[in-house]
Amino acid sequence: MSKLKNTFDKIAFVASEMPEAMAARERLVEVYGDCEVPEADAIVALGGDGHMLQTLHRFMNNGVPIYGMNRGSVGFLMNDYSEINLRERLAAADISRIHPLSMIAYEKSGKAHKALAINEVSLFRERYQAAKLRIMVDDTLRMEELICDGVLVATPAGSTAYNLSAHGPILPINAPLLALTPISPFRPRRWRGALLPNKVRIVIDVLEADKRPVSAVADHFETRAVTRVEVEKARNVELYMMFDANHSLDERVLAEQFRY
């Protein structure tokens, strides 16, 4: 259940292990106090994008909005760091509602591994030989055989991460879409991927799985030697990310498309 409020008297501060982040936490706690997450009106995460993802996963079911401040090297998901007027910044922040992806990865034995991904679900070849994959969307066969290094399914929040590096499209944060993006496709060589409605269920079968083993990764959770991976939006999970009003995630995604 959401705990969104207009006032932010109680703040929980969490920091990465970087010295800059830990020192910032100490200073902020001195000024604003600290509380346990279940009682917090907001969580302030101090670090980089990796720490923000870890924080989102760690408190995924708490319903407490999370506001990141950059004390790391990469800060696309973070706000600028400042120790001044934090409560006022929280009250004025825009809130983006994020649904993660649900991944079910199957081993050859049939054992299923479940995980959630805020950025993307990725499949990677494990050996020198390219992977061979078959892709179905809502029980309709869309690609009989994709020969590649891998493939990923990205959310709008993750579309500017690995998906962008793999030449996938950038998605506006509130777009009801998913990006299906190949990684170094060999055949069909010119296939650039697809934009899919976020209500679909994607099933990727690994062909010749013994000869060409494939791993599946949901953000940081990896399952090796998979034979099938099912991906769809986790409709029952909702996360809340907070961004300064003049530097919202929508604006960052838009600006990223004009970088050169």
Annotated binding site for NAD(+): 49-50, 119-120, 149, 157, 160-165
Residues 6 or more apart whose CB falls under 8 angstroms from that of 97 comprise 238, 239, 240
- Rounded to a whole number, what is the distance in angstroms from the first to the last CA of the chain? 41
Q: Single out the catalytic residue among 9, 34, 41, 49.
A: 49
DSSP H helical segments within the chain, as ranges? 19-32, 49-58, 86-92, 162-165, 249-256
3-state secondary structure 71-115: CCCCCCCCECCCCCCHHHHHHHCEEEEECCEEEEEEECCCCEEEE
CA distance 158 to 196: 15
Catalytic residue flag (residue 49) = yes
CA distance 48 to 21: 9
What positions carry a catalytic annotation? 49
